[in-house]
Amino acid sequence: MSKNEIKNILVPLDGSDTSKKGLEKAIYIAKLSGAKITGMHVVVVYPTLASAVTKYRDFLTKKAEKMLETTKEQCEKQKIQFESKIFHGKPASQIAEFAKKGKIDLIVIGSRGISGFKGAILGSVANTVVQKSKISVLVVK
């Protein structure tokens, strides 16, 4: 495999419009290169009362599983191999760390995800991934 070959594309997904556009771009690239797509969702839960956090974390994890299952079906219709991953923690750190360990060739990420601060030109997660990653990152608007 040449160093420029794309065999595994990581697509962080949070359900936002830009993450869906990122997936569409990743599917296009995967069709051209024969790459597989790894869809990743990071569940973020801020600590409060332990039992409430556990229930909320479980709720968000189930929601992520459903979203990734729908994404898998979308990729399979396009004859693209798809694998899903769910992590818990800080999205940017989890994405960059998994990309490094997971033998990812390209990260395709939406410019802004779901957050309370919509005024940013480049979302904080996308910006941090671009800064932290040793792997090429395609930011999709």
CATH value at residue 76: 3.40.50.620
Mean pLDDT over all residues of the chain? 87
pLDDT band at residue 34 using 50, 70 and 90 as cut-offs: very high
Q: What is the pLDDT of residue 102?
A: 85
Nearest to 10 by CA among 47, 50, 31, 41: 41
Strands 8-12 and 36-43: parallel
* pTM of the predicted model as reported, rounded to 2 decimal places: 0.88
Q: Is residue 58 part of a domain?
A: yes
Over residues 40-76, the pLDDT tens digits come to 999 987 766 556 677 888 899 999 999 999 999 999 9
Give the chain's length. 141
Is residue 1 a part of any domain in this protein?
no
Q: Can you name the residues that pair with 86 across neighbouring β-strands?
A: 41
Please report whether residue 3 resides in a domain: no
